[in-house]
Every structure is written in C-alpha cells, then in structure tokens.
Amino acid sequence: MLVVIPGVLDGEQLKLFRQRLDSAEAPWVDGRATAGHQGAQVKRNLQLAEDTPMARELGGIVLAVLERHPLFISATLPQRVYPPMFNRYEGGMHFGSHVDGSVRLVPGSQDRLRTDLSATLFLADPQSYDGGELQIEDVYGTQSVKLAAGDMIVYPASSLHQVTPVTRGARLACFFWVQSMVRNNEQRALLFDLDRSIQRLNATDGDPAARVELTGCYHNLMRMWSDVA
C-alpha cells in the first residue's frame, strides 16, 4: 500500500528547512555511512549527519507534526518512529534498486526498530530539479513518485525501490521508518480502508448504528492483529 500524505509541512516550515539545509553550516556527509552492505554498493548521495543539533531540531519538527496528523496515524498505526533523517541528491547522485534493512538500531540507544514502513517527505520544489524520482515496485508495477515540497509518501519497507539520478538542481528530502502496531501490510491496508470509510460516515448523516458496528469491527480487528508490547 502506497499512501500520499499531502501538506505535511506548510510554507513557513519549508522555508525554514531549506534555509537550514542550504546553509554553509549544514553538516552533510557521505550517505553510505548509514547504509548496509547491499545499499552501500548502489548508494550515492549526501545525508545530514544524524547526531547533530540541526538534524535533531528539524527531525523534531517533523515528528511533532506527524504526532497529530490523522492520515499518517491511520495509514501507519505507528508504534515507534525512527528519528527522521535528511538527504541531498545533486550532480548525478542516485540510489540504485534496494530493499531497506529489516531492523535498525536507534541512534544513541540499544533499542531496535523493525522497519515495517518507509517514508519520504519531499522538501524541494519538483520544478527545481530534474530526475530524482522515487521508483517503488508494488503489485501494480513500478510507481514513480515525485511530489510537491511538503508532501510525503509512505510505502512498505519491504518494497524494491530506487531514486533515479538527479541531473539538474538538488533534491532535498526527509526520510525515516515506522514500526507499526500491525506488521502485516495486507492487514494494515484493510484497517486503513475501514478507518477511512468510518471517517466518511462520521462526516455524513448516515445510519448511526452502522457507524457503531463498523467502528466495533475496526477495533476488534486491531485487538486481533496488533502487537503493542
């Protein structure tokens, strides 16, 4: 299931992010520093050093927005979120086909996070750079994604995906992983569809009894499928 979440960041937030990320103080490092063996072979980009005040500040803003974003919560059912990271592609940089690692060690701790979902939050105007499409393989074939600045896509971390070469300008993005309370993609997709239907019913004068029954079904499925330990 691929879900586009529009308008995660507003205009003022985007302006702040770009100012900080384009400044001379931005601590960019070789993106291969955080890649596994497979990814390091095909990864050519820059990343904001994780353990820096700038990375923590900007990542904190993203998390604060997502904590109260109903579409993000409905689509991911988050149990834990990896601290957001930031990357930059320019001058032909790319990230070849790969699958994200299944488990990541959370920086500064001994905690581990299962990567059920991957998320990419676009920060640059798509007209400001050529290339840089996020291409994701799913059951319907290859989906090519290049969103407006401030929009985000969430997709299964088990998907084969890549970022095509950036041949003009610079592609800036925030990315992270989510461990969901429901690890199975198909079950999570059914819950998402059910929740969206309940929300649409709540916005109408539909049958109140039907809303109660559907809501009960949703929570009973959550009890059956969720892992909150």
Condensed to tens digits (0 to 9), the pLDDT of residues 105-128 reads 998 888 999 999 999 999 999 999
pLDDT, residue 211, reads 87
100 labeled part of a ligand binding site: yes
195 labeled part of a ligand binding site: no
CA pair distance 157, 118, nearest whole angstrom: 5
pLDDT, residue 171, reads 98
Q: The pTM is what?
A: 0.95
171 labeled part of a ligand binding site: yes
* Residue pointed to by tokens 């974003």: 69
Closest Cα partner for 93 from 164, 38, 37, 29? 164
CA angle 95, 96, 100 (to 5 degrees): 80
32 labeled part of a ligand binding site: no
Domains along the sequence of the chain with CATH: 3-180 (2.60.120.620), 185-225 (4.10.860.20)
Lowest mean pLDDT among 29-33, 83-87, 160-164: 29-33
